[in-house]
Amino acid sequence: MNAAVSPFRIETFKVACSNCNLRELCLPVGVSDEQIERLDRLVGARRSVPRGDALFHAGDGFASLYAVRTGFFKTCVASEDGREQVTGFQMAGELLGLDGIGTERHTVDAVALEDSQVCVIPYHQLTDLSRELSDLQRQFHKIMSREIVRDHGVMLLLGSMRAEERMAAFLLNLTQRLRARGFSATDLVLRMTREEIGSYLGLKLETVSRAFSKFQDDGILEVRQRQIRILDAAALQKLVNVPSR
Amino acid sequence: MNAAVSPFRIETFKVACSNCNLRELCLPVGVSDEQIERLDRLVGARRSVPRGDALFHAGDGFASLYAVRTGFFKTCVASEDGREQVTGFQMAGELLGLDGIGTERHTVDAVALEDSQVCVIPYHQLTDLSRELSDLQRQFHKIMSREIVRDHGVMLLLGSMRAEERMAAFLLNLTQRLRARGFSATDLVLRMTREEIGSYLGLKLETVSRAFSKFQDDGILEVRQRQIRILDAAALQKLVNVPSR
DNA sequence: CGCGAGCTTGATGCCGATCAATGCATGTGG
DNA sequence: CCACATGCATTGATCGGCATCAAGCTCGCG
């Protein structure tokens, strides 16, 4: 998702929040420059996750949170029987692993949808540090709270919207997050399959596909495989806001 | 929901976590006896919420969390258009208001489904104290994390289960929480209407009603209005575990 | 006693699942 | 370099579960 950094720069610049272009979206929000250096020491390791690999699995012991630095992830829960549900898609600056704090074990799989890099944030060190830095504590709490609010939004979507409304809400959410990261809000490349979108939205892949075709026919989107161009964002917005049942 | 405490005892015993029979389910879990006294000072006020009243509304400024002491609540989100979605039901020992931390405003309505009492926990005092008491910090994080995990479970339910499976999962979840509070796991009184259950589960009230009737016909439940007796919990469990699509 | 909120039950219709066939891009081995 | 396999997507036909519409019922309460 992010501009590639040449190997040379990787070597010379220290891996640190203080010179990370995501710091306005990530854990350091609201943390002063002097204090951010202490975060730098905490976020030591980077970890690369090739496309298709899991960063962690449900059931794995929990020790760290992960901040997406580059790339794109999905998280899935599975019930005892085979059912699977994608619970979210994470892009640069977003935190993975919050589910593991409660039970000391992860409860979801986090899978990279493209070659990705994450910053490893040892949880116990984070809590130690946030006891000293109240700005960090505050930001961490906010991130957790917003995750809860986001989940409520998905519940609303799953509980009360029809297929095309869900798709519209999904696309608007994606573009909004891409825009916040400096990408185009009209041209995007989906990192996930129709099936993964469907799982997230509680729909079958055929329904997702049909919705894309419908939107294209209506002149709202241009769809070519995973390349999407949004021609009429207002129409999408109207779909979400005007209830049809 | 809880055994009534006589007025006399209310007067004589200090309102405090240290002598609250919910402390094993609530914020003080894992906090030592000496430290719990500091929590006592923090949780000053009690607030009574009559049935039908809101503890807070979406849009209200956020200042405090609330621990349910007695009674029963629902939380609802609404989208700009009229759509409503019940996002949860809260009983004794459970925390309300976590949604407000992220934006300093509440994002849901919290409505009492019966006459209820909550303990008011001023959020900024809680963060101050949790900076000193790492056990409190840990428990608070765990509560937020578990809320996220719970929401994922609801997403799975809404995204992939059929009506009767959702109902079975809902009933099992309720009974499990009641059992943890020392109530019968087989006899319960629903505090919410069919419509509220339906909203939570992404179903219409007629579908909820039909499911109750079906379960009764199958000898799984005895249903008399909101009085429910569970005759065959194993059958409910099987409904949840054996996928039918 | 009568009213109304909440609940049950039946009849019908529609949205999205399911089943099935085809298309299209990428990759791989002969 | 082509033949073929493979994964993903599109599109059509059909089916079924749940929503919707519509009566009638139950119970608590003024």
Q: In chain B, where are the structural domains located?
A: 9-134, 161-240
Look at A160 and B85 and tell me if their CB atoms are within 8 Å. Answer: yes
Query: Residue B42's closest CA among B113, B110, B140?
Result: B140
In the structure encoding, which two tokens stand for residue A147, read together? 């995750």
Closest partner residue to A156 (CB to CB) among B79, B148, B149 is B79
pLDDT at B82: 82
> Token pair 């799975």 is at which residue?
B156
Partners of A240 on chain B (C-beta within 8 Å) are 79
Closest partner residue to B101 (CB to CB) among A84, A127, A142 is A142
pLDDT at B115: 95
Closest residue to C16 (CA to C1') is A207
Q: Is the CB of B223 under 7 A from strand C?
A: yes
Nucleotides of C under 7 A from a protein CB: 6-11, 15-20, 25
Query: Residue A234's closest CA among A170, A145, A172?
Result: A172
In a mutational test of the B interface, the residue from A96, A142, A145, A170 whose CB has the highest number of chain B CBs within 10 Å is A145
Chunk chain B into consecutive blocks of 10 residues (it has 245) and report each block's average pLDDT, rounded to whole numbers: 44 70 91 90 89 96 97 94 93 97 97 96 96 96 98 97 98 97 94 98 98 97 95 96 71
Partners of A149 on chain B (C-beta within 8 Å) are 99, 102-103, 107
| Strands, sheet with B64-70, edge to edge from the N-terminal-most edge strand | B46-49, B116-122, B64-70, B95-96
Look at A102 and B137 and tell me if their CB atoms are within 8 Å. Answer: no
The model's pLDDT over A22-79, given as tens digits with 9 standing for 90+, comes to: 988 999 999 998 899 899 888 878 999 999 999 999 999 999 999 999 999 999 999 8
- Note the CATH number of domain B9-134: 2.60.120.10
Q: Is the CB of B132 under 7 A from strand C?
A: no
pLDDT at A45: 87
First CA to last CA across chain B, in angstroms?
Answer: 37
Beta bridge partners of A72: A91
- Note the CATH number of domain B161-240: 1.10.10.10
Closest partner residue to B152 (CB to CB) among A87, A137, A243 is A87
* Tens of each residue's pLDDT in chain A, 245 residues: 444 444 444 444 567 898 888 988 999 999 998 899 899 888 878 999 999 999 999 999 999 999 999 999 999 999 888 889 999 999 999 999 999 999 999 999 999 999 999 999 999 999 999 999 999 999 999 999 999 999 999 999 999 999 999 999 999 999 999 999 999 999 999 999 999 999 999 999 999 999 999 999 999 999 999 999 999 999 999 999 876 65
* pTM across the whole model: 0.93
Q: Is the CB of A209 under 7 A from strand D?
A: yes
Closest partner residue to A241 (CB to CB) among B81, B143, B201 is B81
In a mutational test of the B interface, the residue from A126, A158, A201, A245 whose CB has the highest number of chain B CBs within 10 Å is A158
In the structure encoding, which two tokens stand for residue B232, read together? 């065959």
Q: Find the closest chain B residue to A84 by CA distance.
A: B156
Phi-psi region of B219 (alpha: psi -120 to 50; beta: other; left: phi over 0): left
Look at A161 and B83 and tell me if their CB atoms are within 8 Å. Answer: yes
CA of B100: how far to CAs of A130, B59, B96, B175, in Å? 20, 9, 9, 28
Own/partner pairs for A1-6, CB < 8 Å, 24+ apart?
A1/A70, A1/A71, A1/A72, A1/A91, A1/A92, A1/A114, A1/A181, A1/A183, A2/A69, A2/A70, A2/A92
Nucleotides of D under 7 A from a protein CB: 8-13, 17-22, 27
Chain-centre distance of CA A65, in angstroms? 14
pLDDT at A82: 82
Look at A81 and B141 and tell me if their CB atoms are within 8 Å. Answer: no
CA of B154: how far to CAs of A43, A82, B147, B170, B202, in Å? 33, 16, 11, 9, 10
Look at B155 and A85 and tell me if their CB atoms are within 8 Å. Answer: yes
Own/partner pairs for A30-38, CB < 8 Å, 24+ apart?
A30/A135, A30/A138, A30/A139, A31/A133, A31/A135, A31/A136, A31/A139, A32/A135, A35/A133, A35/A135, A35/A136, A38/A129, A38/A132, A38/A133
Q: How many other C-beta atoms can be found within 10 angstroms of the C-beta atom of residue A74?
A: 22
Burial class (CB in 10 A: 0-12, 13-18, 19+), A242: exposed
Look at B201 and A138 and tell me if their CB atoms are within 8 Å. Answer: no
Q: Find the closest chain A residue to B237 by CA distance.
A: A80
pLDDT at B126: 97
